[in-house]
Chain A
């Protein structure tokens, strides 16, 4: 994977002091930014926790098995315990009955953690516009990468993973998290992805607001607008 847009960790090998004279540290040494090094390490050692519920889980199995071998991209150690994982891959339809469990498992994962929503069911409810299906998992957990497809091909999932790695490397996701803004990445083309929030609100039972609130999930634009108003109000006062 070589991508020009991704700043790799700055690493310099100290030149020997003089020909024949060993360098001061007894060996060559590296200088780099600590952040970049940590991000580089995080990106290449993602431990996925597959939250596989349905057909997409079968394609997830294809992605990790010998033919596609997700391990080549640094996400080898599939862990079914959330406490040992930092990447949740939600593969499959999430129903209302499953929703609290998904949230519980997400909460159990240690920081820093990322979420890939695999397949249109997880992204938007897919073609299940129905009484028992969550219309997009971002009703429940913040999602970093949306992978479209029903099911997405393993190639598409791998694409999603690479996109996530880029953002981890560049520090973009970490910065957003700190600033409490939230920018999802979309992989593949699916026009339905645009319409998530409106639909999910319209079908929720009246009088029963959703239990989980995410203040950090404000859209960037909205957050900026909010900042601007605050500034304006502050200015007046």
Chain B
């Protein structure tokens, strides 16, 4: 467990900060080397600091990844926590030019926590700030519409505060949901004389679950749009706080339920980093293989479902066939088709079946065929091209400003892929390409996904060709359950087993931001530990969230039917979006 604190030695612009803020209102914080570098600011100086971090070429943090609010009420520390510094707001930043992450931290008082809105610096802050207001009660001065986002309007209180009871529900009536501000908006263009309001969702086949979009249309053209989420807000973050570190794993499966393995791996990796343990090579390799298969499943559903919305049902059956085959492999590995809960902190829950390698080989062959079938059906299909090219265009600048990551960012011309740029689990040892296109339209997003599936197969082939032997789980019994013979025959084994089950894994107090490449983009976990067996705070950075936040801006000026195509290629997964 590395406790070496460094004043973030890799922050090259440290002297610049001292020069720019000589009064110390903005300074660097000492963090463990495994965490991202952190800059601390006072609330008053936060906008100034943010502007510096975005605009100074030595910093150039142009992409806002996440806003993480933490309530430190029950965290042991100086008494000032409860008064002056009860809340913390962390902005997680990424620089597409320098390939670096950074955390900007602001401490806020217990009574009336507020700070200036960051929207003008990073437009992506819009929904993140609404979420922080909704769940943590932090006010952002200058935010144009600081309304509740995930919970309903009948909700009282702020659910993620430490003094809020996890099971306290509030009744939601019709009036609390079905209202729209759109009809009353005054900033709509003047020349629109006959518009009507059109409601999409939250129960609509092309909203894939539970999204809601209210459109103001002039004929078929969209003049204003407003989207709403939270219909699947299942309180993942609050639930994590009431469970042990291991018990959180099943919850992570249900975030992006199209590719559950990736979520579990990302979470386990974050906790492993906090503990400072290495997992065996075999566990890493299996995680990579199954993550890549999950990525294929996710892209398959995305493309299949998108085509259903565009009126082509056939693709769906082809893409689902690939899924079914991958499901069988997952089922053989861990016993579940969809919600695998296969990752454990320290490795995997059990070893893969004996015929794993041959099975994967066979699967690679048949999935290649399925991808080929889908490719033949769609890529050169004129209807598909007409519906998708030139619609839902997101430029490179927009994609960065709106906080896009993953295939949607790469389709707009920025080749950021965590697997390539910040390799983990041995991605640096395999040879694969990151597809990038520049058009930024629906068709590019489709092409990027198709190519990514092929690259995933390439990765799988290389990894299974030299799949290491040995255990799939670490032998550090403070973290991992000891084998049964040890539990039954040795006193120590019994103690470890008992401690692990009853108290949970003891993660040293601290904080981390750990990230992996999810199917939709950068999947990050911010975890705060107070040294007990349960996480003090878990915040997941869902890749869909910025995508859906930007949706209402992308579709303006287009047709209603294009909006449907765009929603499909952005690939919004409600479980991940609303958590």
Contacts and interface: CB of A to CB of B under 8 A. Distances in A.
Interface of A: 51-55, 57-59, 61-62, 65-67, 80, 92-93, 95-102, 104-105, 127-133, 150-151, 153, 203-205, 208-211
A203 B167 contact: yes
B209 A92 contact: yes
Interface stretch (B234-242, B392-400, B446-454, B487-495): B234-242
Contact of B164 (A57, A101, A131, A150): A131
Given A67-B320, A130-B234, A130-B238, A54 B169 contact: no
B232 A80 contact: no
Contacts, number: 150
A133 B234 CA distance: 6
24 contacts: A54-B257, A54-B575, A59-B337, A61-B320, A62-B327, A95-B231, A96-B151, A96-B152, A96-B169, A98-B232, A100-B178, A101-B203, A102-B203, A127-B251, A129-B239, A130-B167, A130-B234, A131-B159, A131-B165, A133-B169, A150-B339, A205-B171, A208-B170, A208-B171
B209 A132 contact: no
B168 A131 contact: yes
A130 B172 contact: no
Given A96-B169, A97-B152, A101-B202, A128 B234 contact: yes
A211 B170 CA distance: 11
Nearest to A154: B337
Contact of A53 (B171, B174, B232): B232
* Chain A binding surface SS class: loop
B204 A80 contact: yes
Contacts of B460: none
A93 B232 contact: yes
B575 A51 contact: no
A51 B257 contact: no
Given A54-B210, A131-B159, A210-B171, 10 more contacts: A54-B257, A61-B320, A92-B232, A97-B151, A100-B176, A130-B234, A131-B166, A132-B235, A151-B337, A151-B339
A52 B305 CA distance: 14
Contacts of A59: 337-338
Nearest to A100: B174
B234 A132 contact: yes
Contacts of A128: 234-235, 239
* Chain B binding surface SS class: loop
Contacts of B164: 131
Contacts of B165: 131
A144 B8 CA distance: 60
Contact of A203 (B150, B168, B209, B321): B168
B234 A93 contact: yes
Contacts of A62: 320, 323-324, 327, 337
Contacts of A53: 209-210, 231-232, 574
A96 B232 contact: no
B173 interface: yes
Contact of B169 (A100, A102, A132): A132
A65 B230 contact: no
B177 A131 contact: no
Contacts of A98: 202, 210, 231-232
A153 B337 contact: yes
Contact of A80 (B168, B178, B205, B321): B205
A63 to B, nearest CB: 11
Nearest to B167: A203
A102 B324 CA distance: 30
B159 to A, nearest CB: 5
A209 B170 CA distance: 10
B258 interface: yes
Given A66-B317, A66-B320, A130-B234, A97 B177 contact: yes
Contacts of A101: 177-178, 202-203, 231
A127 B170 CA distance: 19
Contacts of A96: 151-152, 154, 169-172
Nearest to A93: B234
B233 interface: yes
B320 A131 contact: no
B427 interface: no
Give 6 closest A-B pairs by Cβ, nearest first.
A130-B235, A55-B257, A80-B205, A65-B320, A97-B152, A203-B167
Given A95-B231, A96-B171, A205-B170, A67 B324 contact: yes
Contacts of A66: 317, 320-321
Nearest to A61: B320
B239 A130 contact: yes
Given A97-B230, A128-B235, A131-B159, A204 B173 contact: no
B575 A55 contact: yes
Interface in B200-220: 202-205, 209-210
Contacts of A102: 203
B477 interface: no
Contact of A132 (B159, B316, B339): B159
B231 A105 contact: no
A46 B178 CA distance: 30
Contact of A51 (B176, B203, B232): B203
Interface string B170-203: 1111101110000000000000000000000011
B269 interface: no
Contacts of A131: 151, 159, 164-170, 235, 238
Contacts of A203: 167-169
B151 A129 contact: no
Nearest to A52: B209
Contacts of B338: 55, 58-59, 151
B390 interface: no
Interface in B318-359: 320-321, 323-324, 327, 337-339
A1 B164 CA distance: 51
Given A55-B254, A131-B238, A97 B171 contact: no
Contacts of A57: 209
Nearest to B316: A65
Contacts of A55: 253-254, 257, 338-339, 575
Contacts of B159: 131-132
Nearest to A66: B317
Contacts of B320: 61-62, 65-67
A133 B159 CA distance: 13
A149 to B, nearest CB: 10
A231 B164 CA distance: 48
A203 to B, nearest CB: 4
